[in-house]
Structure 1
Amino acid sequence: MKLQLELEKMKILNAREEEEREIRKDERRREAALQEVELQKKLAEIELSKTRETANIQLKTKEEERNLPEKFDFNKAKKLIPTFDEKEPEVFFDTFEDTATSLEWPAEHWVMLIRNGFKGKAAYVSSQMITVKDYQILKKAILDAYSITIEGYRQSFRNSQKSPTQTFVEFCDTKVRKFQKWIDKAGIKEFESLKSLVIMEEFLRKVPFNIANYILDKEETDLMKAASLADDYFLRHKSYKPAHNKTTFFSDRFCTYCKQVGHPIEKCPDPQCRKSEVKEHKPGKKQDSKKTMHVTVPTPDLDSFKPYTCQGSVNGKPVVCLRDTGSSQTIINLPPQELTMKQEYVAVTDLTSTKTLPLAEVTLQCPYYTGKASVAVSNKPLPHPSIQVLIGNDLAGANALNLVVTDPDVILKQELKVNENKIVQSVSKVPKKNKTLETSKVEKALELVNLSKVKFQQLQSYDPSLTTYWKRVKNPSDNPKTPYFYTDHGLLFNHFRSSKGPVTSTWHDCHQLVLPATLVPPLLDLAHTSESHLGVNKTYHRVSQDYFWPGIKKDIKEYIMSCHQCQVTDKWSS
């Protein structure tokens, strides 16, 4: 009995739990249904609000359309809009504004009226500013695209030319209109302003292009402020650009036409010289050659400076120094790339002019001064080509002793003859039997100018054009690749191998004696004139078998081009 009662109780409890579960399920269903109803209600409210907004917008649009003036008609107004011309966009805007103002078109519709009529740049700018409704903003952007500024009006006025279809009256009217636009854009109302405008234009035309662009970028209209900007720009961008100091015998000291020392062929006073730039005689009249005065300025002899010269060094490089008690500034003549240049300059005044020279920091050693010094750098030769340093009073002070170099290995034993006519005469007197193939290259070179071996060594050492080759000297025992430079008994040689022979053969090896610039003219004269005026290639082949110097091919060509006989026979072109 008890078991049956307990079973019945359990069944009753299970039934109750089942009923409770069903009740909870029904409640959840009702809650979900309520939530769905609320969601649909919210969606319906949103749709209703959107519909109301759309209706309000439509109502406002209709009201705006009703409020438009009855006399304004878009279709009618579009027919009165002028045609846009890219050559004169400002004319389009002026004409449109006059039309719109006279017909009392609403300003808020101006942008809408002109958008569809643009072309080219104006159409592109308008498409990029589709949201802009302000007429003045759109107008300014389009005019800026066509460079319709003060500078644009000025260039339009200056560059306008008369077209073939224009009359002169029409062209004059165009000029007047362009000038008026220029001064209107610049805001010129008074004569002083107009004068300042014209002077400013002339000022910008005369200054360098980059400075003018800088002032225009700053949009400066005041003349004196523009001048100050130009000075500031010039000082900030000022830099030292060293000139290439390549001194050749032909360009600086020797005339290849009259064979005189002291002037190049461009300054030759001989009226028969075709390359001379000296115009002392009237063209078309034949001058009497007997009355022509030849003015020559001989190169100063080194011996005349001997009591005041001494040996020294600049940054460890041997140099010849000259003491000048009349100079207040020490000057050197060395390549700027070998020096430590400073961003400073000094004004040096001579008898004829004042020049600005850059300064360099060097280590100078000489009897007058030892230590670091700030010296001026000149790209022109000093009183003598072999002198590299001019010692001024800024370093030497009151030390003006007549120092004489007594070292017999340094003193040049014989005088260098600078008169080319005398050199040629001495060459012609040398017996031909001494110029055989067995004579060494050194003896040949010394015979040309009556020099000793010691003096030839000094000329090679002091020649600034050979400095680079002295640095490239190699030892032949190291078997370097050709070409290379080497020394033999203190003399500089260039070893060159012809490309015609095999690499292992020594038959085509050339050992060229390197000549200083001073000995080039007599050698060229002998090689050219003694063989019936050979051409460029033959003369070069003959000379290069034994000798070498910087620019040998160029100097030979210039020498033959200046030869009167070769010019007549046109042999230099071969």
Structure 2
Amino acid sequence: VSMFNLKEFLAAPSRDQVESLKRTELAELAVHLGLQGIQTLLKKDLKDLVMAALEEEGLLQPPFSDSSDLPLKQELGDGQTVKAATSVPVGAAPERPSVPDEQDALSRQTPLTGESLSPTSSAAGMDNARLRLRLARMKYEAEEKSRLQQIELEIRRCEIEAETKLKLKRMELEYQARGGASSTTDYEHERSMDKQRKECDISKCLVLVPTFRESEVDSYFATFERLAAALDWPQEVWSTMLQCKLTGKAQEVIASLSLSDSMDYNKVKAAVLVAYELVPEAYRQKFRSQHVKLSTQTYVEFSREKALMFEKWILASKVETLQDLKELILLEEFKKCLPERLALYLNERKVTSLSSAALLADEFVLTHRVGGGHQGESARPVSVTPFRNSPSPPRPQKPRCYYCHLVGHVARDCENLKRRNEKRGSAAQPVGFVSKSGESKRGFGPFMSEGQVSLTESCEKLTPVKILRDTGASQTLILQKVLPFDDLSSTGSSVLLAGVNAVPVSRPLHRIYLRSGLFTGSCEVAVCPSLPVEGVALLLGNDLAGGAVIPPPVVKENIAPGECEETPAGVLPACVCTRSQAKRAHEILDLSSLFDDSQSDVLNPAETTSSTHLVTNEVSSNMFPLSQASLEAEQRSDESLTD
């Protein structure tokens, strides 16, 4: 890239070089030539001005091609030469004060005659005069253009300042008209708050803000407020400083708020406390649920924790007077006597007095009453939970036999099964001892447990039930006769249940309180008139128990003597002497005399008889339709046993 060198150009200037120069290079050359007012000129005008200056300095030869700009000579017939007027282009600027000076200078020159000067010298002198006149005109036009631009800019600046002052004055008058006398006070207060905000450097104060811990959310806000009040931080910056320290769930809650709400400290605090369940109801439940002292706690620590939970409950409920505390206790006792659904309704309405709670409870009962002969209540729509892979319940199908798989009969009426049993022709093998107890012998023992149920958690009377853990059930079932279910316990919806026969049945959902080893709390269960396992009142499904199958073992530290039941030593896998065993008894050789320690291993008939009597006495008499005396008499009369 060629660089412009001023010295080299001045050593050998040419018009072609001037035409190829850039504007910056032309400006540099114009400064060297002493030209003024070149900042506002276009490149074309600047180039013409530089050309004229170079021609004036004699560095460039003037062009002779432009005959229109050259002064015209008229030669008269007598040989005298007369200088013609210089042609003025159309639209040229009017005569300037500096132009007459140049014209006077030209008029003061020696008159050109054919005798004194040659035609070549006269043409050169007129050309120089023309160049000087053109240069003076261009300088004047440039200065005049620059001066006019400066004047326009100054006028525009003054207009903008005047409009701004006028708008500010108009806004101030309108604000005073709306706010009256308080507008000035509010304006001054706003200015003072802005001044405080500027004086409070957040970057420096942020170091003093305590670190946020999710385990101490309730105490964190109290600490922050005391610190901010002690250091006179403006409340407008509290939310900003707080958001710089929040982490975890609190930060997610702040991100979900709108921009205006996130700048309000009270709204930010309320949203975070609700997210961590630090509301009055949560404090109340924590206070009431602390019944047992932990083994790692002292009684002083336990009492302090109870008092702390009570204070948090009181503060969250905004209790300030004795009357407020009285209303709080009465309201809690009132909610305990209500069904859980109604108590939940009152909690959602955030009632603070007993009278308002009673009015809302009556309105709720009147609104949600079902039955009682009211017109239109029987047609209330009931939402049904959709069954998986079954958009609508199919029509009841005819029974299907599990043996021949034909439709229209069951297995007990199946002719094919009856003929199969007749072909076998063998009667059932006799069983010497058959017992039937209330407990199921189908292998459900490890999954059976005890529990208690009630309609509400506040109910003092709990009904004991036997629970079977069913890992293949996705819904918990309960017998209809266990609890007095009513409309208040109903959720208003039902669920479709399907068993092995794949015929879905609709069962209503009710809310109850369950206390067991696998689950404790309020839950929704399906009420059924009967359950497939006899003696089981509640079928615990995966919706409540989850992955737990059996309750964790309970270890007692102090066991009272006599609590453990001893197993009779005479109970053996085969404890009944049948006819076939009695016939083979004489074939058994007694070899006990051959061994010294055999007496402890082989039982003699007397010991066997005594142990048999022991077992017989321990067996409940309600298992047999006959008495023990009748059985003994029948055994003595049976000759097959005495042979």
- TM-score for both structures, normalised by structure 2: 0.29
TM-score normalised per structure 1: 0.32
Larger Rg over CA atoms: 2
